[in-house]
Amino acid sequence: MGSMTRKGPVPLSADLERFLASLDIPQVSLLVKLLKSWPGIAGPLLSTKAAPGRFRNGVLTIVVQNHAWAQELQLSKPVLLAKIAAATGPKSPVTDLRFVVGALPPPEEERGEPPGEGPDPAAPEPEGLGDITDPEIRESLRAISRRLKK
Q: What is the pLDDT of residue 10?
A: 63
Q: What is the pLDDT of residue 80?
A: 94
- The number of domains in the chain is 2
On whether residue 133 sits in a domain, the answer given is yes
On whether residue 36 sits in a domain, the answer given is yes
Q: What is the pLDDT of residue 127?
A: 57
On whether residue 63 sits in a domain, the answer given is yes
Q: Which residues of the chain have pLDDT under 50?
A: 109-122
On whether residue 112 sits in a domain, the answer given is no
> What is the full DSSP assignment across the chain?
--TT--SS---HHHHHHHHHHHTT-HHHHHHHHHHHHHHHHH-TTGGGTEEEEEEETTEEEEEESSHHHHHHHHHTHHHHHHHHHHHH-TT----EEEEEE-PPPPPHHHHTPPTT-S--TTSPPPTTGGG---HHHHHHHHHHHHHHH-
Same domain as 99, residue 45: yes
On whether residue 22 sits in a domain, the answer given is yes
Q: What is the pLDDT of residue 112?
A: 47
Q: What is the pLDDT of residue 83?
A: 93
Q: What is the pLDDT of residue 25?
A: 56
Q: What is the pLDDT of residues 47-89, one digit of tens each?
A: 999 999 888 888 999 999 999 999 999 999 999 999 999 988 8
Where in the sequence is the domain holding 129, given as residue range(s)?
117-149
Q: What is the pLDDT of residue 27?
A: 67
Same domain as 99, residue 73: yes
Same domain as 124, residue 98: no
